[in-house]
């Protein structure tokens, strides 16, 4: 495979997550161009990759739970070209002390937590009274902001410990801007997402991703680091880069900071460990943030009934070599990002490199957002380049 000439391809894509594969599929199918996808991992799909655990046959999302949901009709129609979806609706539960509550905060949680039945109007009045301790506009840190939104009792039970574990920082030392809102539903609705469309791919994420790449004009080369081979790519070859933005420029403006996740997988000799796909552990003295039980993501499948797979999830600051998940986005990061965006615009103009995806824009993107962004890049940048001879340079290459 190494003997293949990079000059044989019309477009090079770095990274095989949803953003990169959407671009690859559109260019191959709509423009009949040859596309080379370079992936440093041993598999395609980026963080959406899933695989069957061999002992139980249960499909596990290797990089944490991936839940597909969108209100974008175009994205939904596009995805359905490659996969059917189950009727799965995501529901989360939160364990505090010795009790489990339906989450996010709703009327059932309020009634259960405070030990009596409240009507919606009574619950609103209760939370408003408790939140009145601090005016939101006066909040100086995350803790004060949280109290001003939901009141001290709910904040201390459901937000304080979980946030401290997520950020490895006391909430009084975190900026209030980290949380813009804490939703409280004054109904018994415990559906986690409110989007028009929701479900999980019937045959799993990897099958979906493989279908996107299954085109004679697309070649995917795994275990290839772009930085090891980019000198072999002819100058000016259009490239879509979805790796870390700072890494592309050799961290010249400083490293951008990220949160990462660690996973501890266990096969348990029981048919059902927790009765739900996701249970958050909100108490600070529990080291992990949540437990995922993957059999519950696909109740329609005939999985073995004697064992189950659980994954404990831990959150921490990313270090060099870690997989980046969530941008920290401190003021220092934002200042660096502005400098990197300017470098990226120059690189697009000078070298025909576009930057996209979660890592390439330093933005957290849900799957539907990555796909939608890729469709927009194809429409606005890539298709006009190939069909009309327009320059790739433009403001759409790095998201604002």
**Three-class SS string for the chain?**
CCCCCHHHCCEEEECCCHHHHHHHHHHHHHHCCCEEEEECCCCCCHHHCEEECCCCCCEEECCCCCCEEECCHHHHHHHCCCCCECCCCCCEEEEECCEEEEECCCHHHHHHHHCCCCCHHHHHHHHHHHHCCCCHHHCCCHHHHHHHHHCHHHHHHHHHHHHHHHHCCCHHHCCHHHCCCCCCCCCCCCCCCCCCEEECECCCHHHHHHHHHCCCCEEEEECCCHHHHHHHCCCCCCEEECCCHHHHCCCCCCCCCEEEEEEEEEEECCCCCCCCCEEEECCCCCCCCEEEEHHHHCCCCCCCCCCEEEEEEEEEECCCCCCCCEECCCHHHHHHHHHHHHHHHHHHHHHCEEECHHHHHCCCCCHHHHHHHHHHHHHHHHHHHHHHCCCCCCHHHCCC
Q: In CATH, which superfamily holds the domain spanning 11-87+198-254+330-388?
A: NAD(P)-binding Rossmann-like Domain (3.40.50.720)
Domain regions of the chain by residue span: 11-87+198-254+330-388, 106-179
Catalytic residue selected from 26, 290, 358, 381: 290
Q: Is 269 annotated as catalytic?
A: no
What was the pLDDT predicted at 287? 95
Give the pLDDT band of residue 255 (cuts 50, 70, 90): very high
Q: Say whether 366 is catalytic.
A: yes
Active-site annotation holder among 98, 181, 231, 400: 181
**Residue 3, pLDDT score:** 59
Q: Active-site residue 364, yes or no?
A: yes
pLDDT at 396: 46
Active site residue 301: no
Residue 181 appears among annotated catalytic residues: yes
Which pLDDT belongs to residue 180? 77
pTM of the shown model? 0.93
35-58 tens-digit pLDDT: 999 999 999 999 999 999 999 999
Choose, from 259, 295, 341, 358, the residue flagged as catalytic.
259
The active-site residue, picked from 51, 175, 253, 366, is 366
Q: What is the mean pLDDT of the chain?
A: 94
């Amino acid at each position: 495979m190494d003997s293949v000439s990079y000059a044989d391809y019309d477009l090079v894509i770095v990274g095989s997550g949803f953003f990169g594969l959407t671009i690859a599929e559109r260019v191959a199918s709509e423009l009949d161009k040859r596309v080379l996808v370079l992936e440093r991992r041993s598999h395609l799909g980026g963080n959406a990759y899933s695989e069957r655990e061999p002992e139980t046959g249960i499909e596990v999302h290797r990089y944490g739970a991936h839940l597909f949901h969108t209100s974008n009709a175009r994205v939904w129609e596009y995805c359905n070209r490659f996969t059917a979806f189950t009727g799965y609706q995501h529901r989360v539960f939160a364990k505090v002390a010795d009790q489990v509550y339906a989450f996010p905060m709703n009327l059932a949680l309020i009634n259960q937590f405070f030990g009596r039945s409240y009507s919606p109007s009574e619950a609103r009045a209760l939370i408003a009274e408790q939140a009145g301790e601090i005016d939101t506009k006066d909040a100086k840190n995350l803790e004060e902001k949280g109290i001003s939104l939901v009141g001290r009792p709910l904040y201390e039970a459901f937000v304080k410990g979980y946030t401290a574990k997520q950020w490895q920082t006391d909430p009084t030392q975190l900026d209030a801007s980290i949380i813009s809102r804490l939703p409280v539903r004054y109904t018994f609705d415990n559906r986690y997402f409110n989007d028009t469309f929701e479900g999980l791919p019937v045959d799993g994420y990897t099958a979906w991703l493989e279908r996107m790449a299954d085109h004679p004009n697309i070649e995917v080369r795994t275990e290839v680091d772009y930085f090891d081979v980019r000198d072999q790519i002819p100058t000016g070859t259009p490239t879509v880069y979805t790796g870390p933005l700072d890494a592309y420029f050799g961290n010249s403006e400083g490293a951008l900071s990220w949160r990462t996740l660690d996973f501890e997988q266990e096969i348990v000799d029981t048919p059902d460990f927790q009765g739900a796909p996701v249970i958050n552990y909100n108490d600070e003295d529990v080291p992990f943030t949540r437990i995922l039980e993957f059999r519950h993501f696909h109740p329609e499948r005939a999985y073995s009934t004697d064992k189950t797979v659980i994954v404990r999830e831990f959150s921490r600051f990313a270090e060099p070599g870690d997989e980046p998940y969530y941008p920290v986005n401190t003021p220092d990061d934002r200042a660096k990002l502005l400098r990197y965006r300017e470098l990226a615009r120059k690189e697009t103009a000078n070298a025909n490199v576009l930057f996209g995806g979660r890592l390439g824009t330093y933005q957290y993107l849900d799957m539907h957002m990555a796909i939608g962004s890729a469709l927009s890049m194809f429409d606005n940048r890539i298709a006009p380049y190939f069909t009309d001879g327009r320059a790739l340079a433009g403001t759409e290459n790095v998201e604002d």
